[in-house]
Structure 1
Amino acid sequence: MSFYNIKLKSNDSFQERIGEAEEFDAAIGRIVQSFSGLEISIKNVISIFLGIESDIAKIITEEMSFKNLISLLSSLFKYKYMKDNFNNPEIDIEKMFKELMSLCNNSEVYRNKIIHSQYVLKKYCVKTTSKMKKGLNTNIEEINADYLLDISDYISETSMCVEEFPMFLGISDFISGNGISVGYYKNKEVIAYFEYINNQSQSSKTNSSESSLAFDLFTSGSLTWATFGLLICSSN
């Protein structure tokens, strides 16, 4: 005999159970998705720094907390910076990386605040903590969907900055992606490729000749970065 009749699967659609999606709920969902994207970007850059294939990198990183991922990425950067002596006369790489890590840490703080809070009337964010320094403390903040989207955008922009960081180190010339994979290129050659759906066919990868043409146009100034990205994605 079972005391609870709770089932995971239902034959009812989202529309039948919930109706129209509410802005507040949808905005929280976007924060979850954005933070997941940030974690993926960090893991990809770790793989590039280690110089190993993506599956081996996953064995190392998949069970790591976000804090440990940041620590590993920071340690690898410091090691490679000292060893390889990255030189970019236009940018203070150390300062840039420090700011990038600050953005990542802030993203986690914002994400945890939203995900680990209680919500009253989908208007008030109630965060209760019990720390040694302050003891039991409850903070109540009035928020709305616009503010939640600001957090989602902050995290997404941070993820893009992490993804692009190897370019400032000279490790990669450009990056292309199509939603299910992302490739890092150096001198028109793939140096790292990350596929998020392993069962995709070979055709899901960017066609090398089309990538080469797009790269030539981009470097000659004929394409903007945004147009270049669209061209790469459309070739898949």
Structure 2
Amino acid sequence: MTIRIAFVASETPTAQIARAALVCRFGEVAEDAADVIVALGGDGFMLHTLHRTQGLDVPVYGMNRGTVGFLMNDYSETDLPDRLAAAEEEVINPLAMEAGSVDGAIHHALAINEVSLLRAGPQTAQLRITVDGHLRLEELICDGALVATPAGSTAYNYSAHGPILPIGSDVLALTAVAAFRPRRWRGALLPKKATVRFDVTDPDKRPVMAVADSRWVENVLWVEIRSEPLIGHRILFDPGHGLEERLLREQFV
């Protein structure tokens, strides 16, 4: 059976040239008629494609034509149909962010990797952390804090010295970014079903922005984050190179 493919690519010349070559070789269909969407670019473009196509229930197979390619497969123009037929599927749930800003607006966004709160001025952020309605940290003075999914645990979370989470684990990583007080507090592991709330306790003097993957909200007063089990992003990987293997390999380099 012929696999119907939709090709999408980032705006970089490398990705656009690859897309033209693949379309010429294999043809293409519209995204809503495809069996699989092939995304050409880096991890940022892959996240963009997953967000944009989440309502189609079509798996996405990435090939790296960017810089970072943690969510991507190696690029090849010759054996794509066979690779797609043999690919293994991972399903990941995003985080749902709700944020209230100083102008009274309520903002909603989804994040596949992480939701971050970051200081937006010269002074450190001052945050209060509540988990499932229970106050857990009265005051965190820091450059920021984030909640990461297992799929996103090797990204910004890992750079901030947070833990790498196994892809099948029902946990989230709560990680501080350059914590000043408590100085040695690195964060916590939370159940996947937990709801995390950050309150910005000095928004006038210490403004904070919230970022859900690449979407940001300025001057937030509070942010609530939870996993969204009703949305599942379907990602395809070559056999033996799925997220579980990549997460393990990342810990031994």
Normalized against structure 1, the TM-score is what?
A: 0.25
Give 1 or 2: higher helix fraction: 1
If you compute each CA radius of gyration, which structure gives the higher value, 1 or 2? 1
The answer to which structure has the higher strand fraction is: 2
